[in-house]
């Protein structure tokens, strides 16, 4: 039976298109299937969502030809300030202040609005002859044979590929149909996400305040605007989300402080219940999971998309190298190379963000003193500081080639 494409990708959010472009540029044919109609994904109005792209992620976007289209709309992160605080008290005396001048690579990352990234992906996929897109289609069944994998769509159409990649999020149907179980837990917190306009300039500084109910991040957007990610207990978050805009801002102001002057809401308000969900395997015969489908982590350090793009870089490299060797790209020993590469890093990141969150989302005075002293110590030691900055920029670990800015 013939192949419709080498690769079938389920999910055209952000990781799916990034993978499709990387693979197509490496010589593989790709079909991307998404449940949403294209029009729903291609809106150019600012809805309040934005991403903190680590430097390594920016390099990957550059290598697959996306960065040039969104660069002008991005805001470089020049400085990261992390501090401990309690609502109404302002920051604790000890805090971490990382400046991009301390590493040679340039800004630690970039803020980019969702609408620009999605728009650039849709245009680039449409222009790539090796990519076919099926919008408004859901997968209802999948099965493997000796050399391929066949998916059945709700419309009754079937597609056959050599590898099926699930980029279909935390409740991945691809994982479920492949019999891959998940593990994880609830954090008891909900993230409130919005964008604000403010009176005073942010100067490219990202702030992270560690508050007892959960962290509050203020991430700079172009102009006098910032993206806010703010975690509260489920009950608090539901109450705050239920307020009108004036009430919402009144709840935000004391947590935020007044260093950016008067604030106003821009775009919509979103809530995301925070939980950790990790697939017990990232691969199965002829199936690979990527991004949130493999691992949904706490967004405390903005690492969700960055981890997903690392998966993209690793899986694209494994598959393109295997194709160039003449290997069967869906063979389990080929797919396991991706799993071995990504699983350790992912587990470390999940455990790390979880530990940071548990340590900081706590009003215990001893923990508070301990973490203030710890932050002061890190701030004083240049070697450790550079290590933290490079970690935040995504420059540590075994980087996929695309993340160093080189083509496959």
Partner 1 sequence: MQAAETTVNPAEVAKFEAMAAEWWDPNGKFKPLHMLNPCRLDYITRQIAAEFDRDLSAETPFKGLRLLDIGCGGGLLSEPMARLGAEVVGADAAPRNIPVARIHAEQSGLEIDYRHTTAEDLAAAGEQFDIVLNMEVVEHVSDPLTYLAACRQLLKPGGLHLCSTINRNPKSFAMAIVGAEYVMRWLPKGTHEWSKFITPDELCQLLEQAGLKPVDRTGFVFNPLTWGWSLSSRDLSVNYVTASVKPA
Is 129 a binder of partner 1 (CB under 8 A)? no
Is 331 a binder of partner 1 (CB under 8 A)? yes
CA 193/CA 176 separation, integer angstroms: 29
Q: Which two tokens stand for residue 220?
A: 């700079």
- HSE of 225, CA atoms in CB hemisphere, 13 A: 20
- Residue 191 or 322 with smaller CB distance to partner 1: 322
Q: Which two tokens stand for residue 169?
A: 């999020």
Cβ at position 168, least distance to partner 1 in Å: 27
CA 182/CA 280 separation, integer angstroms: 5
- Residue 39 or 146 with smaller CB distance to partner 1: 146
Cβ at position 352, least distance to partner 1 in Å: 23
Packed helices 332-360 and 365-380: angle between N→C axes, nearest 10 degrees: 110
Q: Which residue has the tokens 């630690």?
A: 108
Is 147 a binder of partner 1 (CB under 8 A)? yes
- Residue 340 or 384 with smaller CB distance to partner 1: 340
Cβ at position 1, least distance to partner 1 in Å: 9
Task: With beta carbons less than 8 A apart as the criterion, state whether 158 and 150 touch.
Answer: yes
Is 166 a binder of partner 1 (CB under 8 A)? no
- Residue 267 or 330 with smaller CB distance to partner 1: 330
Binding residue for partner 1, selected from 146, 203, 242, 366, defined by CB under 8 A: 146
Cβ at position 126, least distance to partner 1 in Å: 22
Residues 21-80 that bind partner 1 (CB under 8 A): 26-27
Residues 332-351 that bind partner 1 (CB under 8 A): 332-333, 336
Cβ at position 19, least distance to partner 1 in Å: 17
How far are the Cα atoms of 43, 45, 128, 279 from residue 173, in angstroms, in the given order?
A: 26, 30, 27, 12
CA 207/CA 217 separation, integer angstroms: 6
Cβ at position 313, least distance to partner 1 in Å: 17
Interface map 204-233 toward partner 1 (x if CB under 8 A): ------------------------------
Residues 301-330 that bind partner 1 (CB under 8 A): 321-322, 324-328
Residues 240-279 that bind partner 1 (CB under 8 A): none
Q: Which residue has the tokens 């890093």?
A: 345
- Residue 29 or 57 with smaller CB distance to partner 1: 29
Secondary structure letter of residue 100 according to DSSP: G
Q: Using alpha carbons only, what angle is made at residue 376 by residues 371 and 381, rounded to the nearest 5 degrees?
A: 125
CA 12/CA 61 separation, integer angstroms: 16
Cβ at position 160, least distance to partner 1 in Å: 12
Residues 8-27 that bind partner 1 (CB under 8 A): 26-27
Write out the E strands in 56-136: 75-77, 79-86, 90-99, 109-113, 131-135
- Residue 72 or 146 with smaller CB distance to partner 1: 146
Task: With beta carbons less than 8 A apart as the criterion, state whether 105 and 115 touch.
Answer: no
- Residue 85 or 148 with smaller CB distance to partner 1: 148
Burial of 67 (0-12, 13-18, 19+ CB in 10 A): buried
Sign of CA dihedral 311, 125, 47, 67: positive
Cβ at position 2, least distance to partner 1 in Å: 9
CA 210/CA 368 separation, integer angstroms: 10
Question: How many chain residues interact with partner 1 (CB under 8 A)?
Answer: 15
- Residue 148 or 214 with smaller CB distance to partner 1: 148
Cβ at position 29, least distance to partner 1 in Å: 9
- Residue 3 or 46 with smaller CB distance to partner 1: 3
- Other CB atoms within a 10 A radius of the CB of residue 104 amount to 7
Burial of 40 (0-12, 13-18, 19+ CB in 10 A): exposed
- Residue 4 or 336 with smaller CB distance to partner 1: 336
What residues line the site for partner 1 (CB under 8 A)?
26-27, 146-147, 321-322, 324-328, 331-333, 336
């Amino acid at each position: 039976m013939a192949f419709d494409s080498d690769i079938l990708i389920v999910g055209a959010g952000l990781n799916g298109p990034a993978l499709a472009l990387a693979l197509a540029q490496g010589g593989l044919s790709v079909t991307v299937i998404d449940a949403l109609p294209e029009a729903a994904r291609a809106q150019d109005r600012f809805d309040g969502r934005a991403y903190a792209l680590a430097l390594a992620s920016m390099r990957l976007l550059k290598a697959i030809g996306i960065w040039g289209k969104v660069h002008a709309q991005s805001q470089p992160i020049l400085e990261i300030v992390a501090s401990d605080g309690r609502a109404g008290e302002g920051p604790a005396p000890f805090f971490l202040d990382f400046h991009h001048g301390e590493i040679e690579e340039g800004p630690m990352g970039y803020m980019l609005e969702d609408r620009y990234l999605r728009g650039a992906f849709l245009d680039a996929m449409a222009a790539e002859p090796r990519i076919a897109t099926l919008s408004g289609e859901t997968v209802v069944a999948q099965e493997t044979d000796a050399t391929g994998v066949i998916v059945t769509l709700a419309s009754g159409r079937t597609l056959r590929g050599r590898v099926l990649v699930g980029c279909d999020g935390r409740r991945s149907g691809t994982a479920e149909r492949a019999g891959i179980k998940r593990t994880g837990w609830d954090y008891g917190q909900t993230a409130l996400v919005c964008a604000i306009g403010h009176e005073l300039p942010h100067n490219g500084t990202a702030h992270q305040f560690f508050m007892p109910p959960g962290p509050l991040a203020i991430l700079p957007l172009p102009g006098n605007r910032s993206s806010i990610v703010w975690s509260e207990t489920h009950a608090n978050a539901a109450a705050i989300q239920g307020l009108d805009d004036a009430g919402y801002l009144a709840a935000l102001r004391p947590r935020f402080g007044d260093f950016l002057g008067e604030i106003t809401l821009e775009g919509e308000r979103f809530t995301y219940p925070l939980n950790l969900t990790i697939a017990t395997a990232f691969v199965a015969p002829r199936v690979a999971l990527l991004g949130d489908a493999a691992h949904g982590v706490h967004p405390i350090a903005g690492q969700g998309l960055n981890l997903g793009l690392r998966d993209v870089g690793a899986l694209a490299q494994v598959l393109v190298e295997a194709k160039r060797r003449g290997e069967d790209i869906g063979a389990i020993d080929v797919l396991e190379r991706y799993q071995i590469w990504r699983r350790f890093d992912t587990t470390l990141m999940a455990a790390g963000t979880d530990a940071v969150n548990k340590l900081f989302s706590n009003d215990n005075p001893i923990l508070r003193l301990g973490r203030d002293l710890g932050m002061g110590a890190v701030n004083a030691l240049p070697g450790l500081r550079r290590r933290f900055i490079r970690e935040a920029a995504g420059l540590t670990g075994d980087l996929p080639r695309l993340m160093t800015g080189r083509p496959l």
